[in-house]
Structure 1
C-alpha cells in the first residue's frame, strides 16, 4: 500500500524563479545562434551554386524544377542576376503537330511557348555551357528549347 501511494504522489521540486529566467535567456541565445548558423549556411550554399546558364548540364531530371535556385540530382544551380534581369529563358515553341513535351498542368494551349521549368519529370536535359539552345528528351522524343527574351 505504501508503494502505491509513493507512485501516485506527484513530487514537487521547488525551482527558484531566477533559474527559470536564466534558462529562458540561455535558450533564446542558443536559438538565435542556431537560426543565424543555418541562414548563413543557406546563403553559402547559394553563393557556391553553379550558374545555370554558364554550366554544361547533362542530367536525368527526376522531379519538378521550380524557382531561380534549384537542385538537379544533388547539384545546386541558380540563375545569375544577369540572366534573370535579361528577361530571357529557354522556351519551346510547339509546332501544332501534336508533338509537344508534357507539362505540369492539365490544360495547355499549343499556341503558347513552353518554359523548360514547366515540364513534367522525368526527362533528360542536355545543355552546353553558355549555349542558347537546350535539348530535352522526354518519352523518347527530342525537343529543342531556345533561349529567347520574354515579350509582352
Structure 2
C-alpha cells in the first residue's frame, strides 16, 4: 500500500504521495515516542509530579496518592495496548487506516474510575469529611452526624445509579 502511494503508475519517476508519507512519518514517530513515554522512568516521574499536590491535602494525602497511582497505571496500560497505527488513525493522519471504535475504551476507562471513586477508602474519606463538619458544631453533633450520614449515603447511592459509563461515553 505504501509503494502504491509513493509510485505514480503512469511514470517511472518517484511521486511523493503526501498522505502516505504523513502516515508513515506519524507511525514511525509515534512508535519511537511510545517507547520513551511508556517507560517506567516516565511513568514514575509523572507519578512523582502528581503526588506533590496530594502531599498538601493532609489527611486525604494517601487517598489522593492511591487514586493518582491507580489512574496513571491504568492510563499507561491503556496506552500500551494502542499501536502506533491506531494512534495515527485517531488523529486522522492515515487516510486508509481503519477507524477505531473508542466506545469500549471510553467505557472501560469510565468504569475503572467509577470503581476507584466508589471504593471503600474513598467513601470512608468522604464520610470522615462529613463527620468533620459536624465536629465543629458540638451542640448539634449527634443530629448533624445522623443527617450527614443520611445525606452521604443518599448521595453515594444516587451517584452509583446515575453514573453510567455507557451513557457517559455515548
The answer to whether the superposition gives a TM-score over 0.5 is no
Structure with greater contact order relative to length (CA < 8 Å, sep ≥ 6)? 1
- TM-score, normalization by structure 2: 0.26
